[in-house]
Structure formats: structure tokens, C-alpha cells
Homo-oligomer: A and B are copies of this chain.
Amino acid sequence: MTEISTLGYALLGMLAREPLSGYDLAQRLDLPVGQFWHARHSQIYPELKRLSRARLLTHEKVAQHDRPDKKVYALTDRARERLREWATAPVEAAGKRDELLLKVYSMWLADPEAAARLIRAHEAQHEAQLRAYRAHEANLHAHHAAQLRDPRSPWFATWATLKRGLGYEAEYVAWCRWLAESLESATSR
């Protein structure tokens, strides 16, 4: 049985919902508003080849009149089965990494005013992300309200990861505010 990388499962997970091209996958997985995984096209194209060789994906060339042709990938039955097994298999809690927190750890060396500015900048970033997630959630409720209660629906899964994103960003913003206020009140005194 062929090994499948985490990135592989990320791609299979998206293709299980709808067939997509490498470019489509790259757009969804690139920096913007993905949730808890990301990848660049330079990692995606070779991975699609590997998965195809392992007979986990099929692809068909789709000719387009208005833009370049593309390859649209779809799951095989084997892949869907592998994905289903993986989805509930035990996994270690991720070792989180956040460079901002590393900076905060050494921030006592620096000017509190400069520190507060950095934290305020991140507060704004996470607030923007939170607003985007909220808009996404409103959209989900508006168009797929019925499916959101069914754990067998992909919309439910989308909602579940989105809720985690909402909680994550809301907590991050609250923490930024607390920290920035602490730093600012120290400055004013």
C-alpha cells in the first residue's frame, strides 16, 4: 500500500468534494484564506503526479477556448477509501509554531511602545481574517443551512473547520488587545 503524505491527503480531501485542476488546488491552498493547511503550486504539481502514478487520481485534459487548457483531477475509489480511513485515524497533536509568540517571548528587551505597535498590527490582521471568516459563515448559513446539521455532508465539515478558524482568530484578537493595552499603559506611566 502506497504511503500518502499529509499534503497528499490535503489534495485528496479537496478532490473528494469536486474535481479540480492543479491550478485550482494551488489557489485554494495558497496563502490567502485557506484554514489550517497551505501549499504552493511547486509542491502541488509533483504531488499530483505521484498520486496519479499510485493510481489514486485520474485526470482528463480539458480544452478551453478562452484560456489555456488544463488537467482536471478526480479521485479513484481506492483513494476515497484511503481518505476515509485516514480521516479518523489517530494523529498526534500538532507542535504549534508561531514566530510572533517567539518575539513576544523576547519582547521584554525592547521598547514597550515599539512592541505595542507590532502587536496592534497583528491585531488588525487577525481582525480582518475574523471578518472574512464571519462573512464565509454567513454565506454558509444562507445557502446550505439544511446540510450544516448533517455530519455526512461536506458542508458540515467545512463549517466545522471554519468554526475552529473563527474561534482561533477571535481568541488571537482578544489576546493581542490584552497585550497591547498592557504595553501601552506601561508607556503612558
Contact = CB atoms under 8 A, between A and B. Distances in A.
Given A10-B102, A97-B38, A101-B36, A154 B108 contact: yes
Chain A: interface size category? 35 or more
Interface in A84-105: 84-91, 93-105
A179 to B, nearest CB: 5
- The A interface is mostly helix, strand or loop, or mixed, namely helix
How many copies are assembled?
2
A157 interface: yes
Point out which of A36, A83, A174 has the most chain B C-beta atoms below 10 A from its C-beta.
Answer: A36
Interface string A119-139: 001100110010000000000
Contact of A157 (B37, B98, B108): B108
